[in-house]
């Protein structure tokens, strides 16, 4: 039997719309409470008009309803049946009341659209539906000079993000700095988490200059994480002004903490000492769509690669990825290790290559079973020798 749903799916006609976790329907419907009185008066005048025509001129019920409708709306169709003098006086009364109800309705509409929050709520509702479609995005708390620069970098690298800030002019700010997704809400509240669709996010970034705000956000996000029962903890990144604040934020649950003054000092120092190397970093590591990337790969405890030599994985031959450093479990760093260096338990590999190659290297290194291609590569090496 042919399934209509399967046909729609094959033709691309069927798609799933993800609903926001926070609904504004109740607030939107409440904006129409000003129409309650005009609607009640409309129903009342229709009942009075219908009964009046039936009593005064003995109209059938359908004719009475029709005559009341065209009279009340003043469409000018005239009399469908002959109306008496009393009926005409009644008709004039209906026209006057119809005009008054029409005026009252227009006043209520203006009040909703101009003085009310209907348009703002409708815009926010549309934004919430757009945010609900995001996956593995970052929620950036607080707008400032840091968020402006970070947003530009995220947009260049196609990383989805949502800006959350409570200030009233957030919509104007979002348009000025071209934030694709934004929420006007207090940063540490559950309402902000729901509106930003934090449940499907990869992590959060707190860019507040007040450490108390960052502490509150970290505590709130970690608590929300437990309530959701997430298997993968959120990646929490914060900024701080001093080393003491960095240590405090890390103890409270931040994964990464950056200090802008210290970061700028290191960058300027690198430019002064090794200007050519800084140019290389600008060209390859910080540039949009760079062909070269650098990343650390943590070696799992069950990896086949433990106690094996670096050359055994054939990362350079197979994936064009090179290991340029190893951080051992005790914190000792081995720079440019030899191909015969053995990989130890709990270490991290600093690798260089393209993004696709590094992603495949992560999977290969942390497989529990030794890949089949390695034996073939070893045989080729023996034949070559």
Question: What is the pLDDT confidence band of residue 385, given thresholds at 50, 70 and 90?
Answer: very low
Question: What is the pLDDT confidence band of residue 14, given thresholds at 50, 70 and 90?
Answer: very low
Q: Looking at domain 291-384, what is its CATH homologous superfamily?
A: Regulator of K+ conductance, C-terminal domain (3.30.70.1450)
User: What number is the average pLDDT over the span 256-273?
Assistant: 65
Q: What is the pLDDT of residue 200?
A: 92
Distance CA 198, CA 136 (A): 9
What's the CATH fold of domain 26-115?
A: Helix Hairpins (1.10.287)
Q: Which residue has the higher pLDDT, 116 or 322?
A: 322
Domain boundaries, the chain: 26-115, 135-258, 291-384
What are the residues facing 258 on neighbouring strands? 239
Distance CA 96, CA 132 (A): 49
Ranking 142-156, 278-292, 357-371 by mean pLDDT, the lowest is: 278-292
DSSP H helical segments within the chain, as ranges? 4-11, 25-30, 36-56, 61-72, 85-110, 118-131, 145-156, 170-176, 190-195, 211-228, 243-252, 260-273, 275-284, 315-319, 355-365, 373-384
Q: Does the pLDDT at position 222 exceed 90?
A: yes
Q: Does the pLDDT at position 319 exceed 90?
A: no
Question: What is the pLDDT confidence band of residue 384, given thresholds at 50, 70 and 90?
Answer: very low
User: What number is the average pLDDT over the span 107-132?
Assistant: 79
User: What number is the average pLDDT over the span 100-118?
Assistant: 74
How many other CB atoms are there within 10 angstroms of residue 298's CB atom? 13
Are the C-beta atoms of residues 200 and 187 closer than 8 Å to each other?
A: no
Ranking 129-133, 185-189, 233-237 by mean pLDDT, the lowest is: 185-189
Q: What is the pLDDT of residues 17-32, one digit of tens each?
A: 478 888 877 777 777 7
CATH of domain 135-258: 3.40.50.720
- Measured at the alpha carbon of residue 70, what is the angle toward residues 68 and 72, in degrees to the nearest 5? 60
Matching residue, tokens 């290790």: 337
For 123, the token pair is 């815009």
User: What number is the average pLDDT over the span 219-223?
Assistant: 93
Q: Give burial (CB, 10 Å; 0-12/13-18/19+) of 360.
A: middle
Q: Tell me the angle at which helices 211-228 and 243-252 cross, rounded to the nearest 10 degrees.
A: 20
Q: What is the pLDDT of residue 378?
A: 57
Q: What is the pLDDT of residue 70?
A: 85
Q: Which residue has the higher pLDDT, 375 or 224?
A: 224
Furthest CA-CA distance within the chain? 119
Name, in order, each residue with C-beta under 8 angstroms of 252's C-beta and a sequence gap of 6 or more: 215, 218, 219
Q: Which residue has the higher pLDDT, 372 or 350?
A: 350
Q: Does the pLDDT at position 274 exceed 90?
A: no
Q: Which residue has the higher pLDDT, 193 or 22?
A: 193
Q: Does the pLDDT at position 198 exceed 90?
A: yes
Q: Does the pLDDT at position 283 exceed 70?
A: no
Average pLDDT in the chain:
81
Question: What is the pLDDT confidence band of residue 80, given thresholds at 50, 70 and 90?
Answer: confident
- Name the phi and psi angles at 317, rounded to 5: -75, -40
Q: Classify the C-alpha dihedral 339-342-343-349 as positive or negative.
A: negative
Q: What is the pLDDT of residues 151-166, one digit of tens each?
A: 998 988 889 999 999 9
């Amino acid at each position: 039997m042919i399934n209509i749903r399967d046909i729609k799916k094959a033709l691309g006609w069927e798609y799933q719309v993800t609903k926001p976790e926070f609904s504004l329907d109740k607030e939107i419907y409440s904006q129409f409470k000003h129409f309650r009185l005009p609607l009640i008066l409309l129903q009342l005048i229709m009942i009075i008009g219908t009964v009046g025509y039936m009593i005064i001129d003995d109209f059938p019920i359908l004719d009475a309803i029709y005559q009341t409708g065209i009279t009340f709306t003043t469409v000018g169709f005239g009399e469908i049946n002959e109306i008496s003098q009393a009926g005409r006086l009644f008709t004039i009364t209906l026209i006057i009341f119809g005009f008054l109800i029409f005026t009252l309705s227009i006043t209520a509409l203006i009040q909703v659209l101009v003085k009310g929050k209907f348009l703002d709520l409708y815009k926010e509702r549309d934004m919430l539906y757009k945010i609900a479609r995001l996956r593995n995005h970052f929620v950036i708390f607080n707008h400032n000079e840091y968020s402006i620069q970070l947003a530009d970098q995220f947009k260049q690298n196609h990383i989805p993000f949502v800006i959350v800030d409570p200030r009233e002019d957030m919509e104007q700010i979002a348009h000025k700095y071209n934030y694709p997704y934004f929420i006007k809400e207090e940063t540490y509240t559950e309402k902000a988490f729901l509106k930003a669709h934090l449940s499907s996010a990869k992590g959060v970034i707190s860019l507040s200059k007040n450490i108390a705000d960052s502490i509150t956000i970290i505590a709130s996000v970690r608590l929300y994480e437990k309530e959701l029962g997430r298997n993968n903890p959120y990646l929490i990144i914060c900024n701080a002004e001093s080393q003491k604040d960095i240590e405090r934020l890390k103890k409270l649950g931040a994964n990464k903490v950056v200090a802008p003054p210290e970061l700028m000092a290191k960058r300027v120092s690198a430019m002064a000492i090794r200007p050519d190397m800084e140019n290389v970093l600008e060209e390859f590591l910080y540039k949009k769509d760079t062909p070269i990337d650098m990343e650390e790969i943590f070696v799992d405890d069950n990896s086949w690669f433990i106690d094996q030599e670096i050359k055994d994985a054939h990362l350079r031959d197979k994936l064009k990825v090179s290991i340029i450093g190893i951080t051992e479990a005790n914190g000792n760093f081995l720079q440019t290790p030899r191909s015969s260096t053995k990989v130890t338990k709990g270490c991290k590999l600093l690798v260089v290559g393209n993004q696709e190659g590094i992603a495949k290297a992560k999977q290969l290194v942390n497989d529990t079973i030794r890949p089949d291609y390695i034996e073939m590569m070893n045989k080729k090496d023996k034949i070559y020798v």
